[in-house]
Chain A
């Protein structure tokens, strides 16, 4: 049986630590789920780890969605999936958690805004194309691969339908 990437990463550090270790991004989302008392979440992508904290479903109606993009992707396809979920599965005032591994995006598009930084442009793109309001946006500007982006991507949005 092969371990998930998360399990492999945690195993590297667990041996030297008396308490159970958890990665910051995982801890943040679990806290959000518990504090808001979500019992069910529409789930897309790399979400299996969170099934121990919330019931993951494929269809709505739901008021919470977890969308974690952690494999090679196209930005347009992600937007289509999220907007479809908003239209058919997520109720008004529902919350979407979107986490994107920005290093796994295929560079299939370009614009004339060549001087805009990637993190800013991701925010701009999500704001203009997803049919929801951005409540918060967090990212790591100069990630050098030491903050477990490939376990749980660091580019994260909370959106409200």
Chain B
């Protein structure tokens, strides 16, 4: 007799951090030099890279974001933080101490399987609550949009972002 799994949210998960890491690692998209250059042109100085991971996947989230930070050549120091996205007060308190002006979100797992509108809403939420410049780079393979009828050029104009090497990058 087999147990059929339809939705992993209904199942108890292993607590093995290596296994949990693999859940998000599959969706990791290497960041190309074009994106690195583009983001670095947007980020002048004083940036902080904020991880905002989920509860069960925290180990995996941190691993994925760590790899993206390295790809982008951003410094991995006390400015790279792992924070709960729901705790905006903590984010503000920490960022104010670091005196940073820009937040960079890279392929945050919370952006996986979201529509572009949902991504923009999340960006707006952080911008409203932190008053920082926000830059997001997320793989198009994790965004829910119609690949058969979406004009990328028009979409870029309407949302203000840019599609570069299979990533969508937006700065607000």
Contact = CB atoms under 8 A, between A and B. Distances in A.
Contacts of A161: none
A13 B147 contact: no
Nearest to A113: B149
Interface stretch (B77-85, B100-108, B128-136, B137-145): B137-145
A19 B1 contact: yes
Most chain A C-beta atoms within 10 Å of own C-beta, residue among B8, B16, B141, B148 = B148
Given A12-B13, A16-B11, A72-B141, A110 B5 contact: no
Contact of B148 (A22, A122, A147): A122
B4 A22 contact: yes
A139 interface: no
A105 B147 contact: yes
A110 B147 CA distance: 7
Contacts of A106: 147, 166
A53 interface: no
A111 B8 contact: no
B145 A107 contact: yes
Which bucket holds chain B's interface residue count?
A: 35 or more
Interface stretch (B22-30, B38-46, B61-69, B89-97): B22-30
A11 interface: yes
A29 interface: no
Contacts of B147: 75, 102, 105-107, 109, 118
A106 B150 CA distance: 11
9 contacts: A8-B23, A12-B20, A16-B11, A19-B3, A20-B2, A22-B5, A110-B150, A111-B149, A113-B149
A77 interface: no
A64 to B, nearest CB: 23
A83 B166 CA distance: 28
